[in-house]
């Protein structure tokens, strides 16, 4: 028993009581990590508990510890004792609160939850009392009465502690007591479905099973009318079962005003509306945190129950700080220390990387880095990453590291990265500093198609109990929040979609602007709508479910399941932990990011093709550097397909930035990002680079420090902060932020939307810089940039790793355009452009493109000699054909070509008729002198039945010869249309070329002419819409890229024009644009003034289309993120089918 530290409450008739008199620790708190149950963030609950002066707060989510790290961090910040806990919902017994008393008990709790989660489906946890018993040592349990438990069924003696509420007024409860009944003996219950036994019986059973483990019985006062009677019943039960009664608040939110949101959450959970939810809703707003005094009043007469909360709080001494991390031992051979092994590997690597001798500078860097690694004991970390990379190399999987520690000389020598430290001057110390006690950060990108091999290797090497993927907490964002709240509030499906539809680009995170609400035909002044939007605002940022992180692995030396619960992922063969990367970082656990990158697959394919056809063995590290031709090409914005710099924004930047060295590419990659754009750093940098503006370093007033304090930080980027860490360093140097401040800033950057602490930091940084003599405008810009980085930060080392891929891919494109095109096509889907543009670009670079053919093509696009000079032409692969299955194509390729006719192919390759039809539709029988129509006719004649096995190899045909049927010839324009439908591109002609006459009549120019058109000239152009973009950084502006038979043109649609031509802009596939030319150096845009949707003209391309009623079917559109690119825009793409009547694939739209 713990000595009571407080005096027993005397008279408690006061209003809220006096917290000085009594003390209380809240033991039952449901946060919003019990998805759709808790109505408050962990941080809010912790802060409120502190304000109310509670002694301690336990977080007890349902079968999960997902929110515990955040609670731990928040509690540490405000100085509140956090009790680590969980609410165990069991299959065969009432729920239990479980509080581990020490590290070992915590480990057992994690193991228990893992057992439950691994036996259930993703997101669920199936536990039985037996499991709890097996992991009970060291825990404290609190039994909870079920919600539907009827206390009247208990035989309650008039408890002596039951003090009357007021003089002479006796509660009704006392009438219920019946002394003479005996309790039923509890019966043992196995894992079979729960038999109907009463709560008391369960309590006896639990008490018996848990033996000496302390178990309490919880009582709460939630204003349901008969609370005191129920508490009295529980007190009696507690005495009878020898489970001391303990008071709990059964808290769902921090303050009463969260009731509405809690009600809405309940509706979302139950899939009902607020008007229909009825009794699933709570009757009142009492499930908030309460002061000790108030609890004392509610539990008057049960003071020991309050005191026991302190007893439990005192006994639970476990803190997450005790989770000391230990690196896995595997990568270190026995008998060697990790540091010495790392040094050996590094020097070994030096001989490999620098066969001609190591430069002095690199040698010095290596020595310094190794010393620092030794000092911080990071060697095992580097060894772990090296181990994974080594595996990838042994399997010939291309990979590259990035992240703060990745661009060190050590990593170069270990082969983790290919950025030569001699080429780029990155200070390792800047990323890993002894003051910042954070593990280093290395992410490794692998070929996206082969990443799973690496993941399974990690599982195999470290075991599933020691390796797990981290989680990503999927939170409500504006769109999902408004949808769910709207539905719960009973808005019609229409209104809900209208509201949700308005949220274009949810980055702003703010409330929906009134204008948008009105635009959707809704009245923003409507109180119901206002309430919906208010609740939406509250709901945004609430966790909705856990999902596996794309590739963040946590590895431990001991069992991972004793550090954090591990559960099943939705994907087969994947398990993931309950914590996300911020949680991992907060606890200092080791994480290795194993990511997939489409460009690496592409580069690998390109290297293989170059090796095969040109006999040149290339690696990321030995591609010739600083090639003038490559930079010339990039300066001309000739970058379709090149990693990272192929987007419209990057293509605009290239001619302005004019990269000439590798470091310029590093800047190029980093500059077109939300950070520098929001910080308005782009234009100053360009002006200084072109010499228009003097390089200038803002400085503090002399009394505050050296004038050139920023030159050290910003010297490399001409005085303009472009990289994430530059902005952080400015905060340290210019705003004199302490380490703690910087840490807070870094954390706020990652999570500022969730916590909203950024405002305070903003004030602090700006005022501090201004006080030291910097201009307010500069200070504000620096801070804005930090805010921008918060969303999509790019530190210098990341940029450097990416820049290498930019260079390598540009080099391949420059010197081996056919190889590059083939590799890109074979790595689809990835990047920004569709196959049509890739092939077109290759042809413009002098590559001869040949169509896919059953006799000549492989599955992948290939290179084949063509023409007299033996130069290599690009032969499109069968993979280009929509809907063709890879197994079928391989069967065809393996069957011994050439085939003499369709029947021969069918017989010998044994492919399905549907495959043949797809091949015919794609016009792949030209080598048999059959066009698509004739080929289809032939295929259709093969009959519905598959070839009989007996006749498979027989020479005789099952069907005799048939009369020649002359089908109507297909026009070229229709062939083109069909090509687009089945291959998404046509080598025969561009669809617009058939409409040129019509366009000429309207004075429409070709896109190619724009290059030589004067600034300000009025032009009309027409084309197929390739890309539509509405970037978040350019408010309300839509960028469109269109293409005709001569080239592409970029157009801008300003919001005013957009309002007028919204329908056209959003829907047109073929568009005519009238507007003025806007030239900026080499960049030409057409500023749209009038737009015409001429999609109907595309139908004219089909034979005899005019005058006929052609039904227009709609293709299904699928949403999927682009797995091949570093950013993950959601774009819509055509999941076409050869039979669909679409003429041109839908544009790629980026919001």
Partner 1 sequence: MRRIVSVWFPLWQIERLRRAAPAAAPDDTALALVESGSHGIRITAVNAKAAADGVRVGQALADARAALPALASRPAEPHCDRAALLKLARWCGRYGPNRNVDGPDGIWIDITGVAHLYGGEERLLEDLSSRLSDFGLTARVGLSDTLGAAHALARFAVPPALALSGEAEARIAPLPVEALRLTPETASLLKRLGLRRIGQLYRLPRAALQRRFRSSAIAEAVLARLDQALGAKSEPCRPLTEPPALFVQRSWPDPLISAETLEAETAQLATELCAVLDARGLGARRICLSLYRADGTVADVSTGMSFPCREPEHLMALLKEKLGALDVGFGVDVLVLAAEHVERKDVHQTVLGHHLNGSVHADPALLVDRLTNRLGSARVSRLNARASHIPERAEVRTPALSECFRKKEATPSRRSGPPRPPFLLTAPEPIRVIADIPEGPPARFTWRRVDHRVVRAQGPERLAPEWWREIKTEKSRTRDYYRIEDEGGAGYWVFREGFYDRDEAPPRWFVHGLFG
Footprint (CB under 8 A) of partner 1, residues 1-30: 13, 15-16
Listed ranges 21-29, 38-46, 724-732, 931-939: which one lies at the site for partner 1 (CB under 8 A): 931-939
Q: How far is the CB of 111 from partner 1 (least distance, A)?
A: 34
Q: How far is the CB of 476 from partner 1 (least distance, A)?
A: 19
CB-nearer residue toward partner 1: 30 or 339: 30
Reading the block at residue 254, the tokens are 């921090």
Maximum C-alpha span of the chain: 114
Reading the block at residue 797, the tokens are 């080392």
Candidates 2, 4, 178, 941; binder of partner 1 (CB under 8 A) is 941
CB-nearer residue toward partner 1: 824 or 930: 930
Contact (Cβ atoms closer than 8 angstroms) between residue 245 and residue 216: yes
What character string, x for contact with partner 1 (CB under 8 A) and - otherwise, covers 753-772?
--------------------
Listed ranges 171-179, 385-393, 608-616, 815-823: which one lies at the site for partner 1 (CB under 8 A): 171-179
CB-nearer residue toward partner 1: 693 or 1141: 1141
* Residue 1073 phi, psi dihedral angles, 5° rounding: -120, 130
**Structure letter (DSSP) for residue 103:** H
CB-nearer residue toward partner 1: 180 or 962: 962
- What part of residues 655-674 is at the interface with partner 1 (CB under 8 A)? none
* Residue 676 phi, psi dihedral angles, 5° rounding: -60, -35
Alpha carbons 18 and 16: distance in angstroms, whole number: 7
- What part of residues 868-927 is at the interface with partner 1 (CB under 8 A)? 921
Helix ranges restricted to H, 395-513? 409-414, 428-431, 451-462, 478-488, 493-502
Alpha carbons 824 and 822: distance in angstroms, whole number: 5
- What part of residues 1026-1085 is at the interface with partner 1 (CB under 8 A)? 1062-1063, 1066-1067
- What part of residues 942-1001 is at the interface with partner 1 (CB under 8 A)? 943-944, 959, 962-963, 965, 967-970, 978
- What part of residues 195-234 is at the interface with partner 1 (CB under 8 A)? 223-226, 228-229
CB-nearer residue toward partner 1: 699 or 978: 978
Alpha carbons 1070 and 405: distance in angstroms, whole number: 49
CB-nearer residue toward partner 1: 392 or 881: 881
Reading the block at residue 13, the tokens are 């008739």
Q: How far is the CB of 237 from partner 1 (least distance, A)?
A: 16
CB-nearer residue toward partner 1: 475 or 520: 520
Alpha carbons 1138 and 979: distance in angstroms, whole number: 9
- What part of residues 284-343 is at the interface with partner 1 (CB under 8 A)? 284-286, 297
Listed ranges 88-96, 271-279, 351-359, 709-717: which one lies at the site for partner 1 (CB under 8 A): 271-279
- What part of residues 65-124 is at the interface with partner 1 (CB under 8 A)? none
Q: At what angle do helices 796-815 and 662-671 cross, to 10 degrees?
A: 110
Q: How far is the CB of 505 from partner 1 (least distance, A)?
A: 13
Contact (Cβ atoms closer than 8 angstroms) between residue 1030 and residue 1150: yes
Q: How far is the CB of 859 from partner 1 (least distance, A)?
A: 24
Tell me the three-class secondary structure of 112-126, residue by residue: HHHHHHHCCCCCCCC
Candidates 2, 4, 78, 165; binder of partner 1 (CB under 8 A) is 165
**At 331, which helix (H) or strand (E)?**
none
Q: How far is the CB of 171 from partner 1 (least distance, A)?
A: 6
**1141 near partner 1, rule: CB under 8 A:** yes
Burial of 554 (0-12, 13-18, 19+ CB in 10 A): buried
Helix (H, G, I), strand (E, B) or coil at 1121: strand
Q: How far is the CB of 165 from partner 1 (least distance, A)?
A: 6
Beta bridge partners of 83: 58
Helix (H, G, I), strand (E, B) or coil at 378: coil
Alpha carbons 238 and 216: distance in angstroms, whole number: 8
CB-nearer residue toward partner 1: 147 or 702: 147
Q: How far is the CB of 912 from partner 1 (least distance, A)?
A: 16
Listed ranges 32-40, 170-178, 452-460, 618-626: which one lies at the site for partner 1 (CB under 8 A): 170-178
Residues 6 or more apart in contact with residue 28 via CB below 8 angstroms: 58, 60, 87, 97, 142, 144, 218, 220, 248, 249, 250, 251
> Nearest 10 degrees: CA dihedral of 960, 963, 969, 975?
-10
Evaluate the omega torsion of the peptide bond into residue 898 and state whether it is cis, within 30 degrees of 0: yes
CB-nearer residue toward partner 1: 256 or 509: 256
CB-nearer residue toward partner 1: 13 or 868: 13
- What part of residues 485-514 is at the interface with partner 1 (CB under 8 A)? 489, 493-494, 497-498, 501
Contact (Cβ atoms closer than 8 angstroms) between residue 977 and residue 1102: yes
Contact (Cβ atoms closer than 8 angstroms) between residue 913 and residue 942: yes
Q: How far is the CB of 610 from partner 1 (least distance, A)?
A: 40
Q: How far is the CB of 1075 from partner 1 (least distance, A)?
A: 20
Helix ranges restricted to H, 943-1077? 972-983, 996-1001, 1055-1067
Alpha carbons 943 and 916: distance in angstroms, whole number: 12
Candidates 441, 923, 1093, 1122; binder of partner 1 (CB under 8 A) is 1093
Listed ranges 160-168, 235-243, 430-438, 439-447: which one lies at the site for partner 1 (CB under 8 A): 160-168
Can you say whether residue 467 is alpha, beta or left, with left for phi > 0 and alpha for psi between -120 and 50 degrees?
beta
Q: How many alpha carbons lie under 13 Å from residue 921 in its C-beta half-sphere?
A: 24
Reading the block at residue 1020, the tokens are 């009309």
CB-nearer residue toward partner 1: 518 or 711: 518
**531 near partner 1, rule: CB under 8 A:** yes
Candidates 49, 936, 1126, 1134; binder of partner 1 (CB under 8 A) is 936
Candidates 376, 475, 511, 520; binder of partner 1 (CB under 8 A) is 520
Q: How far is the CB of 963 from partner 1 (least distance, A)?
A: 5
Say which residue the tokens 């960028």 belong to: 1039
Candidates 3, 79, 160, 168; binder of partner 1 (CB under 8 A) is 168
Candidates 194, 260, 855, 1033; binder of partner 1 (CB under 8 A) is 260
Alpha carbons 316 and 139: distance in angstroms, whole number: 9
Q: How far is the CB of 892 from partner 1 (least distance, A)?
A: 21
Count residues binding partner 1 (CB under 8 A): 85
Q: How far is the CB of 838 from partner 1 (least distance, A)?
A: 27
What is the residue-wise DSSP string for 907-962?
Answer: HHH---HHHHHHHHHTTTTGGGT--HHHHHHHHHHT-SSPPPGGGTT-SS-SS---
Alpha carbons 292 and 18: distance in angstroms, whole number: 8
Residues 6 or more apart in contact with residue 213 via CB below 8 angstroms: 136, 137, 139, 140, 141
- What part of residues 575-594 is at the interface with partner 1 (CB under 8 A)? none
Candidates 355, 357, 521, 846; binder of partner 1 (CB under 8 A) is 521
CB-nearer residue toward partner 1: 355 or 960: 960
What character string, x for contact with partner 1 (CB under 8 A) and - otherwise, covers 136-155?
-----------xxxx-----
Q: How far is the CB of 176 from partner 1 (least distance, A)?
A: 11
Candidates 10, 79, 278, 357; binder of partner 1 (CB under 8 A) is 278
Reading the block at residue 369, the tokens are 């880095």
Reading the block at residue 371, the tokens are 């010393």
CB-nearer residue toward partner 1: 740 or 1118: 1118
């Amino acid at each position: 028993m713990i000595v009571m530290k407080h005096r027993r409450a005397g008279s408690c008739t006061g209003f809220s009581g006096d917290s000085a008199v009594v003390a209380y620790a809240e033991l039952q708190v449901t946060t919003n990590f019990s998805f759709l149950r808790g109505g408050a963030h962990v941080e809010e609950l912790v802060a409120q508990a502190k304000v109310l002066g509670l002694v301690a707060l336990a977080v007890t989510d349902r079968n999960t510890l997902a929110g515990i790290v955040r609670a731990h961090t928040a509690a540490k910040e405000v100085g509140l004792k956090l009790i680590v806990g969980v609410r165990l919902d069991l299959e065969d017994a009432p729920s239990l609160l479980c509080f581990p008393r020490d590290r070992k008990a915590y480990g057992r709790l994690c193991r228990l939850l893992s057992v439950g989660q691994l036996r259930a489906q993703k997101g669920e946890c199936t536990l039985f009392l037996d499991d709890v018993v097996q992991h009970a040592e060291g825990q404290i349990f609190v039994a909870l009465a079920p919600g539907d438990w009827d206390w009247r069924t208990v035989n309650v003696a008039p408890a002596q502690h039951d003090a009357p509420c007021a003089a002479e007024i006796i509660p009704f409860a006392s009438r219920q007591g019946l002394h003479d009944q005996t309790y039923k003996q509890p019966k043992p219950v196995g894992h079979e479905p729960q038999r109907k036994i009463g709560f008391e019986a369960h309590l006896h059973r639990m008490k018996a099973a848990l033996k000496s483990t302390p178990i309490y019985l919880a009582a709460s006062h939630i204003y349901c009318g008969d609370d005191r009677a129920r508490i009295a019943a529980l007190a009696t039960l507690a005495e009878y079962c020898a489970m001391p009664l303990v008071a709990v608040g059964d808290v769902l939110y921090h303050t009463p005003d969260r009731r509405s949101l809690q009600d809405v959450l309940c509706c979302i959970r139950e899939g009902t509306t607020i008007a229909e939810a009825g009794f699933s809703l709570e009757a009142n707003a009492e499930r908030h945190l309460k002061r000790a005094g108030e609890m004392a009043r509610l539990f008057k007469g049960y003071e020991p129950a309050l005191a026991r909360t302190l007893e439990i709080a005192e006994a639970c001494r476990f803190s997450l700080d005790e989770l000391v991390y230990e690196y896995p031992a595997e990568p270190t051979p026995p008998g060697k220390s990790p540091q010495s092994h790392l040094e050996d590997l590094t020097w070994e690597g030096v001989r490999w990387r620098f066969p001609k001798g190591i430069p002095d500078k690199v040698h010095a860097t290596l020595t310094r880095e190794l010393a620092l690694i030794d000092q911080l004991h990071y060697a095992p970390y580097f060894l772990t990453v090296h181990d994974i990379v080594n595996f990838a190399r042994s399997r010939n999987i291309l990979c590259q590291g990035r992240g703060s520690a990745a661009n060190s000389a050590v990593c170069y020598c270990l082969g983790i990265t290919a950025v030569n430290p001699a080429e780029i001057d990155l200070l390792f110390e800047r990323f890993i500093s002894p003051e910042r006690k954070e593990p280093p950060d290395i992410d490794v990108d692998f070929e996206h198609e082969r990443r799973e091999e690496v993941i399974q290797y990690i599982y195999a090497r470290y075991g599933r109990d020691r390796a797990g993927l981290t989680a990503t907490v999927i939170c409500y964002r504006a769109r999902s929040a408004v949808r769910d709240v709207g539905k719960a509030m009973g808005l019609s499906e229409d209104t809900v979609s209208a509201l949700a539809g308005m949220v274009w680009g949810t980055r702003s995170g703010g409330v929906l602007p009134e204008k948008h609400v009105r635009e959707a035909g809704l009245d923003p002044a409507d109180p119901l709508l206002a309430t919906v939007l208010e609740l939406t605002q509250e709901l945004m940022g609430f966790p909705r479910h856990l999902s596996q992180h794309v590739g963040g692995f946590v590895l431990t030396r001991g069992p991972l399941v004793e550090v954090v619960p591990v559960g099943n992922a939705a994907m087969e063969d994947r398990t993931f932990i309950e914590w996300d990367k911020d949680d991992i970082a907060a606890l200092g656990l080791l994480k290795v990011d194993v990511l997939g990158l489409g460009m690496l697959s592409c580069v690998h394919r390109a290297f293989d093709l170059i090796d095969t056809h040109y006999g040149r063995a290339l690696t990321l590290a030995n591609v010739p550097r600083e090639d003038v031709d490559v930079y010339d090409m990039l300066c001309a914005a000739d970058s379709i397909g090149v990693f990272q710099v192929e987007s419209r924004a990057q293509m605009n930047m290239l001619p302005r930035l004019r990269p000439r060295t590798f470091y310029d590419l590093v800047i190029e990659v980093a500059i077109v990002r939300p950070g520098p754009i929001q910080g308005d750093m782009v234009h100053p940098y360009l002006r200084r680079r072109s010499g228009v503006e003097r390089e200038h370093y803002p400085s503090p007033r002399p009394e505050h420090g050296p004038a050139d304090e920023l030159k050290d930080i910003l010297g490399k980027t001409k005085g303009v902060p472009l990289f994430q860490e530059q902005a952080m360093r400015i905060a340290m140097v210019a705003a004199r932020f302490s380490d703690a401040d910087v840490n807070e800033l870094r954390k706020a950057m990652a999570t500022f939307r969730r916590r909203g602490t950024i405002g305070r930091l903003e004030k602090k940084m700006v005022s501090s810089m201004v006080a030291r003599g910097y201009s307010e405008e500069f200070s504000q810009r620096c801070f804005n940039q930090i805010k921008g980085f918060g969303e999509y930060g790019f530190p210098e080392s990341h940029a450097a790793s990416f820049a290498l891929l930019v260079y390598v891919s540009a080099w391949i494109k420059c010197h081996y355009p056919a190889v590059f095109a083939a590799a890109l096509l074979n790595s689809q889907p990835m990047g920004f452009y569709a196959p049509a543009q890739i092939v077109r670009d290759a042809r413009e670079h002098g590559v001869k493109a040949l169509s896919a053919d059953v006799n000549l093509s492989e599955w992948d696009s290939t290179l084949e000699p063509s023409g007299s000079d033996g130069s290599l032409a690009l032969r499109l692969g069968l993979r280009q054909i929509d809907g063709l299955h890879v197994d079928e194509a391989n069967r065809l390729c393996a069957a011994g070509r050439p085939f003499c006719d369709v029947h021969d192919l069918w017989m010998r390759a044994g492919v399905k008729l549907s495959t043949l039809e797809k091949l015919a539709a794609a016009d792949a029988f030209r080598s048999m002198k059959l066009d698509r129509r004739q080929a289809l006719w032939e295929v259709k004649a093969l009959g519905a039945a598959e070839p009989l096995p007996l006749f498979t190899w027989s020479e005789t045909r099952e069907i005799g010869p048939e009369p020649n049927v002359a089908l109507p010839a297909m026009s070229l324009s229709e062939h083109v249309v069909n090509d687009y439908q089945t291959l998404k591109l046509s080598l025969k002609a561009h669809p617009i070329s058939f409409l040129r006459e019509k366009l000429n009549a309207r004075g429409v120019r070709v896109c190619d002419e724009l290059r030589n058109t004067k600034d300000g000239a009025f032009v009309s152009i027409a084309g197929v819409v390739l890309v539509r973009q509405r970037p978040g950084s350019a408010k309300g502006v839509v960028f469109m890229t269109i293409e005709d038979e001569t080239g592409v043109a970029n157009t801008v649609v300003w919001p005013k024009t957009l309002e007028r031509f919204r329908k056209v802009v959003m829907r047109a596939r073929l568009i005519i644009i009238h507007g003025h030319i806007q030239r900026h150096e080499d960049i030409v845009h057409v500023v749209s003034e009038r737009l015409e949707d001429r999609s109907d003209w595309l139908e004219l391309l089909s034979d005899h289309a005019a005058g006929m009623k052609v039904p227009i079917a709609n293709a299904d559109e699928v949403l999927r993120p682009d797995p091949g690119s570093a950013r993950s825009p959601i774009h819509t793409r055509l999941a076409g089918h050869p039979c669909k009547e679409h003429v041109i694939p839908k544009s790629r739209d980026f919001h």
